[in-house]
Amino acid sequence: MEAKPNGQNVLCRAGEHAVTLEHMGRFRQLVWEMGEKHRRDGLPWRFIDDPYQVYVSEAMLQQTQVSRVLKHWPRFLAAFPTVDALASASVSDVLEEWQGLGYNRRALALKRAADECSAKHGGCMPDTYEELLALPGIGPATAAGIMAFAYQKPGIYIETNVRSVFIHHFFPDSEKVTDSQLRPLVECACDGDYPREWYYALLDYGAALKAQGINPNRRSTSYTRQSSFEGSHRQKRSFVLQQVLAQPGVGFEALLASINEFERKAGRDNLLECELMALVEELVSEGFFEREGDGFVSR
């Protein structure tokens, strides 16, 4: 790491180190070269300027393997080809199409964002970072990703692979690197003319590092090891949701019987009534389904 804290060519800082124009120039050149070398041309959501389609891809790619998204992205868009189509769909239909991707909250976030875009933005995704960020479920990374990939507008886009590249090069010996340390680097490294291609290069380079067994993201404060799905609270939530989607109006006793049969087959103890009730109330409060008479239905 070069350190010239008083030099006129200092561009930004990485922790205690000053990053010079020369250093950043070499870094950019390396990213372009490695991005070209490891370019993933088979990703269908690349080089499209439809912000809705980009948003769907960004939502799906969070915490989900690319290979799985490749199967679900075209299918989801075939079912809901536009913002208005998604907004007019039922929650149950959206959740049905989402099955297999996990983390169902992302599907609800997509639906709620589409509802707002349809009601307030004429069925279009906003074209400013601030308006995107104001939509339900869209955070800084997703908003910056939509701006870069759909609108060719530079911004601070930090996700797992991007984070890995910057930690690998600017914090090679550091632990617990924060995104606040990375933001000035990501911002000044971004190519203002070709942000879409720049971030594609970073994503592909970061994916290549991981494929080589190099995972600097583990030294980020944002890194959390994903817990096992088998037997987890997430699995129980998913099971209950699938039962409600498959059997609209299913009652509490039937849910209790089916989930306990599932648990016993897996060699686990039965759920108590109070445990299932807490889980059901959790799903109802989040909007996955609602009570209707003595049963539960997803709208």
Q: Which active-site residues does the annotation give? A: 58
Helix axes 66-79, 91-98, angle to 10 degrees: 150
Local structure of 296: helix, strand or coil: strand
Q: Letter for the amino acid at 149?
A: F
Contacts of 235 (CB under 8 A, 6+ apart): 229
What one-character-per-residue DSSP string does 51-118 give?
A: HHHHHHHHHHHTTS-HHHHHHHHHHHHHHS-SHHHHHHS-HHHHHHHHTTS--THHHHHHHHHHHHHH
**Token couple for 220:** 């980020």
Q: Where are the beta strands (DSSP E) in 123-171?
A: none
Contact call for residues 141 and 163 (beta carbons, < 8 A): no
